[in-house]
Each structure stands twice: as C-alpha cells, then as structure tokens.
C-alpha cells in the first residue's frame, strides 16, 4: 500500500531563500546511471572572491589522536543525571551497560590551516580540527559525554548551541543527536571541572538486528544543530568514529588482516574545501542559503598537505566533509597518469568483495574505504590524491573533468618495510534483504524547491511534525526524486539502506552494499529499501548539503513498534 506523508502544511516562520532556481549541466555519464543534461541558468553566478596563493605540500598531514577513555562524573545512567541537558531515557540501557566512557569537550581553539595563513579561531571537539578519532569495538557499549564549552557570546557565524550526531550510528533515539535537541553552554561553577552543559550519548555497539553482517566500521560524528549544522561543522565540529569486530579486527594478524594501526597504517582522511579571502581569513557566506564553494582544498584541516608513507599497504578512510562540494578522487603520479587502488567499503560498510578502481565519486557525507599498496613504487616516488570533478556552482558539479585536477594530498614514498597485511578476496557477507516484490509499504519523497525554499514533499522541516511512522522491522521502499538544477545527497538516520535502482537501473558495483547516503543529481529517481531495527522514536532523513538541510530540507520519521 502507498502511505502518504503527514500533511500539516508549510511552516510560515521559515526564512525565505534569497535566490531563484537554475538549470545547468549535470554530471557526465561516467558512472553508467548518470545521464548528461543541459540548461540555462536563471540567476547570475556571483564573482568569486580573490583567493590567496598558498604553496601546496608545505604542511605535513595531521592525523588526529585516538581518543582515550575516562571515568565520568557524575556517573551516567539511563535517565539524565545532574548537570545534563534534558533528554529522553536511553533505550535498552541495562542490556548494553557502558563498558567504556569518554568525555568530549566542544570548545574554541586556535588553528592554522596552512603554514602561510594566519591562525583562526575554530570550534573543535577537544579543540581539534578534525576532532579526536574514536576506536571502539562491537560488543563493547560506549557512553560519550559531549560537554558544550563553546563561548556563549561569539562573533561571526555559527551557533554555540550544539547536538552531536553519530553519522551511521545504530543507536537509540535519545543518543542519535536529533537536530532539535540542541543545548547551550553554561559558565563554569564550583562543582564543574569544565564549563558547559553536557549531553550523554549511549552507543550500544550493537549491529542492526544483532546481525554481524551489518557491522559498520567507518562512522563520523558532527554537530547537527537545527538551522546551524553548516556553519558549526564549517567551524570544525567533526571527527571520525571507527568500530572494529572479529572480521575487521584492527590487527594484521587476525580476521581479515587489513592494513592496521589507526594513525599509522589505517588513516582517516577528512576531505573538505574552505573559502579564504585575499587576507587569508576564513570566510563563511551565512546569508546564501544555496551554500557556497571553497577556494582551497583541505585534508584533515590543512591545505594540500603531504604524507610520508612506507613502501607497504595503507588503508585510507576517505570522507567528504564539505558543505556543497562533490569530489571524484583518483590516485595519480607526477605525470598525471592514474593508478589503481583497491576499494573495500562504501559509507563505512565493507563490500562482499574488493573492487579495483581508478576513480570514486563522493558526495557530501559519503565515505570510501580504500587500500593503496606503496610497495609497488620505488622510494622517492610522489603520488597524489587528486580531485578531478569540476564544480563552479554550489548546486551541483558541472559534468566536466579537471585536467590535471586538484592535488589535495601528496604521498611521498619511502623504503619498503615489513607488511603483514593482506587484501583478501572476500570481505564481509552481505545480509539478504526482503524481496522488493513482497514489500507492501511504499513512500515517495520529492526533494524540490517550493515557493523559493528547499522542501521535501512541498513541506519544510518541523521538529514537532511526524512525516512518517515506519514500523519496527517492517521493510519499506522509499522512492526519492530530485527536480530542478540541484543535487541532493540524501542521508537516512538509524539504519543503512539498500539501493534498488537509480533511474531504473541497478546501482554501480561500489554502491550495491549497505549505504547511509545516496548521491542524487538533478532529475534523479531512486528506490531504496529501508528497514529499521532495535530502536524506536524520532529520527530524520535529510539532504546532506548543509545549506539545504539548514534551510528545511529534512523530514522527521518516528519508528514505532510493529503493528502499531
């Protein structure tokens, strides 16, 4: 049966978008399912601000430290504890009692994006950009206390009210970081070790439905404050959260024996663009609800850094953490010849079998897990992680390729060293999904412009309105459609989904596993199979173009008990 979404009308309090629609060239048909299209722009593109010249490859690649556990006080619990921001009770808390506890402090700090740029005031988890990397294990429940120590009064963009979302986290509603559950900083008191209110996030470290075929290994955390996700993440509130299990063991001697050692041979890479003015100061165009593009490219918070590698295999976890920028990443040498890499996982989920690729498309929030074997190259070789995708408009890529492209990260290859890692021929079995022909509940979601605003099904996000109420463990097929000249990477909270079709065709091989974000180019129609397990309550689906989600392109869905 078709289930219509709730019809509560439009929210008249939403601010209006400042620009009209536009049509432009879509991405070329390099991925099989993408069809090219052309059109005429309806609004003039503003002239870009002058960008300072920054010599590349002067800064070493920063690698965020692994977060250390601690003992929380006051002691956490199922219900909020003294000093904690208000929240609902944690679901299944006694079943998944925390075995490790962490305290993460969101605070202002000073950061330099490039050797020749001035220091900037950033907001970082533990004052770091990106934040510290969590290393956790399936079967070991975790409690993360996020303390808000941001300045109550600040100058510039962003909001000091925050709520942290674990992207791709299979967690209870109270721990998901619901966008409307933000909380404010408070001043330090005599009984507080740090200033700031806090919020306790309970992460059971339990795969969906208890199925070990549904383990997600590469997650990330970021601020998700309603209306201010874009500027708060742009200020620096993002980091990696890695999970290991018996297969993806984190050891080169057990399980799959993938390249291991977080920060040594297993390297998270946060790919972003940032805009700097002619004086080298960071710019955020907060009054442009279509978003904007940066004029410099960052990896792990530095403009075009270098990374010295040994002559052995490395695992790199690529994350597109940009607001509006799409990437097509390739591995190239100094002569701009492309080289193969091994693709093992999409959106944090291992594929059944590795793929040999030379390019990978990444929309905002998507991840790619790849292995590069540097033992094939003599010492002194320089290789580049390079973005080839041209994009001059925050609405979408142009469809053209850059030649030679933007060299975002330089690898400098050293001598060969011992390497116990392998690239197995089989990774993780894929759990079977329900036969789509037997799925009776179908919903349609149109991502569009409505009265000059971003909307889904003609409505703007309202944190109090429920747009869908899927039943626990009940499969549904959601049809997603985009219109106009805008691209929308669509993210669904709580459980990963399976892509059934894109424009009537099967998805490319790298997207045939479990996904949490689907890149939707203008005019795309896709069907995904969703099924939610283990937890009930409020969650969201939204476009992960931060300017779009901040301007109301989001719906709330409440997972309810089966047969409700």
* Domain span holding position 171: 100-244
Q: Considering the domain boundaries, does residue 527 fall inside one?
A: yes
164-193: average pLDDT: 85
Backbone angles phi, psi at 495, to 5 degrees: -130, 145
446-505, pLDDT tens digit by residue? 999 887 789 999 999 999 999 999 999 999 999 999 988 899 999 999 999 999 999 999
Within 8 A by CB and 6+ apart from 558, the residues are: 466, 468, 469, 536, 537, 538, 539
Domain-ending residue, one of 201, 216, 244: 244
Distance CA 420, CA 149 (A): 43
- Residue 40: the pLDDT is 26
Examine the pLDDT at 24 and tell me if it is beyond 50: no
Q: Report the domain count for the chain.
A: 2
Distance CA 309, CA 379 (A): 10
311-330: average pLDDT: 98
Domain-ending residue, one of 244, 259, 274: 244
Lowest mean pLDDT among 188-197, 354-363, 395-404: 188-197
Q: Considering the domain boundaries, does residue 165 fall inside one?
A: yes
Lowest mean pLDDT among 18-32, 339-353, 549-563: 18-32
183-207: average pLDDT: 77
Question: How is residue 256 written in tokens?
Answer: 């799959």
pTM for this prediction? 0.91
Cis peptide upstream of residue 477 (ω within 30 degrees of 0): no
* Beta bridge partners of residue 101, listed in sequence order: 70, 143
Q: Are 86 and 80 a contacting pair, CB within 8 Å?
A: yes
- Residue 181: the pLDDT is 94
Examine the pLDDT at 225 and tell me if it is beyond 80: yes
- Residue 122: the pLDDT is 96
**Mean pLDDT, the chain, whole residue set:** 90
Q: Are 351 and 375 a contacting pair, CB within 8 Å?
A: no
Question: How is residue 355 written in tokens?
Answer: 């793929």
- Residue 288: the pLDDT is 76
- Residue 38: the pLDDT is 27
* H or E element in which residue 520 lies: strand 517-520
- Residue 187: the pLDDT is 63
Whose structure tokens read 């620096």?
A: 236
Q: Are 145 and 104 a contacting pair, CB within 8 Å?
A: yes
Lowest mean pLDDT among 42-51, 170-179, 234-243, 441-450: 42-51
Please name which of 269, 275, 550, 312 lies closest in space to residue 410, comparing C-alpha atoms.
269
Q: Considering the domain boundaries, does residue 91 fall inside one?
A: no
- Residue 331: the pLDDT is 98
DSSP 3-state of 328? strand
- Residue 465: the pLDDT is 98
- Residue 450: the pLDDT is 80
Lowest mean pLDDT among 40-44, 88-92, 197-201, 530-534: 40-44
Examine the pLDDT at 87 and tell me if it is beyond 90: yes
Q: Are 385 and 56 a contacting pair, CB within 8 Å?
A: no
- Residue 50: the pLDDT is 73
411-431: average pLDDT: 98
Q: Are 16 and 453 a contacting pair, CB within 8 Å?
A: yes
Examine the pLDDT at 404 and tell me if it is beyond 70: yes
Whose structure tokens read 């929380």?
A: 72
Distance CA 439, CA 441 (A): 6
Distance CA 36, CA 522 (A): 10
- Residue 475: the pLDDT is 98
519-547: average pLDDT: 97
267-304, pLDDT tens digit by residue? 999 999 999 999 999 999 877 778 999 999 999 999 99
Domain-ending residue, one of 191, 226, 244: 244
Q: Considering the domain boundaries, does residue 378 fall inside one?
A: no
206-225: average pLDDT: 97
Going by pLDDT thresholds of 50, 70 and 90, the confidence category of residue 433 is very high
What is the DSSP track for 381-417? -EEEEEEEE---BTTB--S-EEEEEEEEEEEEEEEE-
- Residue 11: the pLDDT is 34
Q: Where residue 106 sits, what CATH number does that domain have?
A: 2.60.40.420
Examine the pLDDT at 507 and tell me if it is beyond 50: yes
Examine the pLDDT at 86 and tell me if it is beyond 70: yes
Q: Considering the domain boundaries, does residue 94 fall inside one?
A: no
- Please give the C-alpha separations between residue 488 and each of 81, 261, 325, 495, 544, in angstroms, as whole numbers: 39, 35, 11, 19, 7
Q: Considering the domain boundaries, does residue 452 fall inside one?
A: yes
- Residue 189: the pLDDT is 52
Within 8 A by CB and 6+ apart from 126, the residues are: 67, 104, 105, 107, 132
88-138, pLDDT tens digit by residue? 999 999 999 999 999 999 999 999 999 999 999 999 999 999 999 999 999
Question: How is residue 396 written in tokens?
Answer: 């979408």
Please name which of 181, 191, 121 lies closest in space to residue 146, comparing C-alpha atoms.
181
Please name which of 167, 199, 166 lies closest in space to residue 182, comparing C-alpha atoms.
199
Residue 82's Cβ-count burial label (10 Å; 0-12, 13-18, 19+) is exposed
Question: How is residue 144 written in tokens?
Answer: 């993360």
Q: Considering the domain boundaries, does residue 285 fall inside one?
A: no
* Beta bridge partners of residue 491, listed in sequence order: 517, 542
Going by pLDDT thresholds of 50, 70 and 90, the confidence category of residue 253 is very high
Distance CA 497, CA 533 (A): 12
Q: Considering the domain boundaries, does residue 388 fall inside one?
A: no
Examine the pLDDT at 44 and tell me if it is beyond 80: no
Whose structure tokens read 């201010």?
A: 228
């Amino acid at each position: 049966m078709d289930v219509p979404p709730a019809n509560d009308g439009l929210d008249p309090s939403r601010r209006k978008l400042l620009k009209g629609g536009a049509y432009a060239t879509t991405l070329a048909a390099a991925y099989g399912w993408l069809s090219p299209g052309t059109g005429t722009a309806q609004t003039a593109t503003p002239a870009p601000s002058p960008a300072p010249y920054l010599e590349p490859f002067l800064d070493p690649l920063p690698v965020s430290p692994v977060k250390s556990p601690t003992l929380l006080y006051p002691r956490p619990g199922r219900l909020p504890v003294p000093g904690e921001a208000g929240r609902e009770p944690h679901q299944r808390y006694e079943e998944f009692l925390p075995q490790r506890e962490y305290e993460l402090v969101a605070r202002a700090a000073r950061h330099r994006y490039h050797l020749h740029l001035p220091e900037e005031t950033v907001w970082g988890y533990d004052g770091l950009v990106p934040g510290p990397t969590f290393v956790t294990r399936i079967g070991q429940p975790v409690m993360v206390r996020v303390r808000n120590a941001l300045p109550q009064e600040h100058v510039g963009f962003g909001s000091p009210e925050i709520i942290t979302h674990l992207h791709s986290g299979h967690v209870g509603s109270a721990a998901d970081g619901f966008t409307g559950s933000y909380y404010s900083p408070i001043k330090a008191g005599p009984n507080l070790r740090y200033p700031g209110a806090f919020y306790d996030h309970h992460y059971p470290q339990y795969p969906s439905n208890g199925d070990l075929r549904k383990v997600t290994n590469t997650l990330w955390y970021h601020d998700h404050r309603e209306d201010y996700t874009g500027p708060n993440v742009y200020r620096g509130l993002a980091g990696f959260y890695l999970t290991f299990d018996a297969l993806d063991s984190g050891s080169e001697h057990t399980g799959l024996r993938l390249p291991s050692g977080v920060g040594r041979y297993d390297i998270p890479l946060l790919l972003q663009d940032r805009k700097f003015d002619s004086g080298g100061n960071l710019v955020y165009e907060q009054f442009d609800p279509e978003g904007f593009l940066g004029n410099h490219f960052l990896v792990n918070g530095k403009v075009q850094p270098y990374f010295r590698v040994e002559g052995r295999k490395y695992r790199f976890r690529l994350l597109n953490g940009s607001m509006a920028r799409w990437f097509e990443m390739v591995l190239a040498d100094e002569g701009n010849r492309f080289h193969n890499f091994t693709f093992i996982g999409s959106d944090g989920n291992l594929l059944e079998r590795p793929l040999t690729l030379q390019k990978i498309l990444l929309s905002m929030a998507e991840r790619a897990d790849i292995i590069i074997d540097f033992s094939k190259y003599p010492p002194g070789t320089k290789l580049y992680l390079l973005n080839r995708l041209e994009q001059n408009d925050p609405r979408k890529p142009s469809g053209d390729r850059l030649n030679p492209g933007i060299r975002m990260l330089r690898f400098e290859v050293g001598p060969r060293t011992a390497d116990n890692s392998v690239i197995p021929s089989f990774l993780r079995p894929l759990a079977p999904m329900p036969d789509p022909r037997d799925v009776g509940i179908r919903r349609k979601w149109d991502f569009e412009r409505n009265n000059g605003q971003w909307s889904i099904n003609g409505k703007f996000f309202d944190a109090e309105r429920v747009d869908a109420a899927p039943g626990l463990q009940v499969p549904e097929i959601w049809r997603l459609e985009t219109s106009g000249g805008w691209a929308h990477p669509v993210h669904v909270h709580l459980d990963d989904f399976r892509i059934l079709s894109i424009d009537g065709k099967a998805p490319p091989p790298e997207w045939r596993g479990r996904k949490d974000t689907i890149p939707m180019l203008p005019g795309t129609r896709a069907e995904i199979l969703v099924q939610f397990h283990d937890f009930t309550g409020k969650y969201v689906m939204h476009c992960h173009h931060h300017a779009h989600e901040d301007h109301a392109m989001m719906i709330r869905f409440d997972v309810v008990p089966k047969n409700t």
